[in-house]
Chain A
Amino acid sequence: MLEYEFMRNAFVAGGIVAIVCGTTGVFLVLRQLAFAGHALSHIGFAGAAGSALLGIAPLWGLVAFTLAAAIAMGLLGERMRGRDVAIGIVLSLALGLGVLFLYLYTSHATQATTILFGNVLGVSRETVWALAGMSVISVGALAFISRPLLFATLAPELAEAKGVSMRLVAVLFLAIVAVAVAEAAQVVGVLLVFSLMVAPAATALRLTSRAGFAVALAVSLALLETWAGIATAYVTNLPPSFWIVLLGCAGYLFALLYCWARDAGGWTQGASSGPVDRRASRATGCASVIR
């Protein structure tokens, strides 16, 4: 299948996006901002549809809208907490605008499906280059802020007491999320960004309790799910987005079952050979799944 250029482009684009989503996703899950990521992708829909209307590549409209929304969210900071209703209303307004733009832009009916559900097999070489450039910048920026970001995420009061600017860290991180969302939308579309941004990271955080391992595992899972999804789509002639989303969900479910089984095993072992075994199995972080 690699003899086709569109397949090579798909694998490269998918790989780039998986790396960005795996790294960003771990922090997104740790900061409990999964819903904000979801909202950003919907807001991006309006941008993508609008840029189609203006004759610009949808990627740039996506980036512009998600970035603007992310910076606004970051500046609102603590006041964002518990504002699900407000976020939801802005989100639906964005979707409504997207519908309007698509209505006005009548020449391509398939444009809507592409923006909403992605079309990784249609990614051009220019888009691959654009994705690569954006990834280098966003992963680099994430690495640069990752130390204060982790500190501010895990121990916010202490971080503030040590002089970390919580607002600056929040704005920078959400801007990185915005770029990641726009990139992920190229592969799975704005509606399914969640599956690439959140599923691998959440799965990784179920399977390991070490921060560094979690990032490495999330990237590996995202790569595996994306590439396997594209390959399966090629073989089955079904949409890649479907397979990627399915694999993402399956991975998460597998992690839940694995932890459950392991924890159950730990209980029976603990009864026969003392509490040491149980502690060893609990050290993986699985026990909390049961609660």
Chain B
Amino acid sequence: MSACAIELNHVTLARGRRIVLADVTASIRPGEFVGVFGPNGAGKTTLLQAILGLVRPAAGEVRVFGRVPAHGNPQAGYLPQRRASLADLRLRGRDFVASALHGERWGVPFAGREAAREIDRVLTVVQASDLALRPLGELSGGEQQRLLLAQALLGAPQLLLLDEPLVGLDPHFQEAIVALVSEVQRDTGITVLFTAHELNPLLGAMDRVLYLGHGIAAIGTVDEVVTGEVLSRLYGTAIDVLRVGDTVVVVSREGSVESGARHHHA
């Protein structure tokens, strides 16, 4: 059972009275890179919060490395959706990242030598050692995203949950973030759940796809899940999947759902 990094057993998740996911069963192996997709409101964030133990399933059971998570999990790395308020913050990036190092413990946030080394390590991994000396509010979205990723990597977690890290980024910044996460996953064997709107930036990095929609979910390789038949069921409307070179284009009869008209360098 604990051979799985994440196990969803007939899980039903609700936001208030609204059921976002109903009776979902899936398992994710340790070291897998899973892209999580689906339309807005499909339950991507709610699923990540259930894995963190912040949202309790209305039915079924979530297990993370064999344990039922409750009230947050210090062992998981989490990158939440970027808040607009970061733009007002005049503190430098390094202090921002440092605040998360054992931030759950009481006491004074004095960084010892060991803490400084860990902060240096994660900043090096995300290639943001120089950026971290500048105030957070002056950094671009992609630069802020790298610091959020550094925060998520503190303490070398076994599980990395990334919530929409590509939103609002230019294509080359998107590629840089995906390449960074992919490198971390290869080097450390960490399990990655990466939610996104577009498939294409993640095509070369993902092992499998978890597609959410209409309260249901499908998990499998890109070839198994990203098909007209499966996506039509998830979107509840007729969907076609076209492949143009390296790029997957998902179109509904009403127009393009997934217009990732860019080339991905795998």
Contacts and interface: CB of A to CB of B under 8 A. Distances in A.
A210 B90 contact: no
A137 B73 CA distance: 31
Contacts of A164: 72, 103-104
The CB with the most chain B CB atoms within 10 A, among A148, A157, A210, A214, is that of A157
For chain A, what secondary structure do more than half of its interface residues adopt (helix, strand, loop), or is it mixed?
helix
B71 A163 contact: yes
Interface string B89-120: 11110011001101111111100000000000
Contact of B95 (A157, A160, A210): A210
A155 B151 contact: yes
A151 B90 contact: no
A92 interface: no
Contact of A157 (B78, B88, B102, B104): B78
B135 A161 contact: no
A147 B103 contact: yes
B15 interface: no
A157 to B, nearest CB: 3
A287 interface: yes
A179 interface: no
A161 B154 CA distance: 13
A161 B76 CA distance: 8
B54 interface: yes
Contact count band on B:
35 or more
Contact of A148 (B81, B85, B105): B105
Nearest to B93: A209
A163 B107 CA distance: 16
B215 interface: no
Nearest to A291: B137
B207 interface: no
Interface stretch (A33-41, A138-146, A235-243, A246-254): A138-146
B39 interface: no
B73 to A, nearest CB: 7
A206 interface: yes
Interface string A245-285: 00000000000000000000000000000000001001101
A137 to B, nearest CB: 16
B91 A161 contact: no
A146 B71 CA distance: 21
A63 B105 CA distance: 28
Interface residues of A, number: 35
Contacts of A143: 107-108
Contact of A161 (B54, B85, B105, B138): B54
B74 interface: yes
A210 B134 CA distance: 10
Nearest to B130: A279
Contact of B72 (A30, A154, A160, A288): A160
A158 B52 CA distance: 10
Contacts of A148: 103-106
Interface in B107-164: 107-109, 133-135, 137-138, 151-152
A282 B92 CA distance: 11
Contact of B106 (A144, A161, A214): A144
Contacts of A161: 49, 52, 54, 72-73, 76, 78, 80
Contact of B90 (A153, A159, A285): A285
Interface string A150-180: 1111110111111110000000000000000
A30 B95 CA distance: 13
A107 to B, nearest CB: 47
A154 B96 CA distance: 7
A145 B106 contact: yes
A153 B85 CA distance: 11
Contact of A154 (B79, B91, B138): B91
A58 B133 CA distance: 46
20 contacts: A32-B85, A143-B108, A144-B106, A148-B103, A151-B99, A151-B104, A154-B96, A155-B96, A155-B99, A155-B103, A158-B100, A161-B54, A161-B72, A161-B80, A206-B90, A209-B134, A211-B109, A214-B91, A279-B134, A282-B135
Given A146-B109, A211-B99, 17 more contacts: A147-B103, A147-B109, A151-B100, A154-B89, A158-B103, A158-B152, A161-B52, A161-B78, A161-B80, A162-B73, A162-B103, A210-B95, A212-B95, A282-B135, A285-B135, A287-B135, A287-B138
Interface of A: 30, 32, 143-148, 150-155, 157-164, 205-206, 209-212, 214, 279, 282-283, 285, 287-288
Interface of B: 49, 52, 54, 71-74, 76, 78-81, 83, 85, 88-92, 95-96, 99-100, 102-109, 133-135, 137-138, 151-152
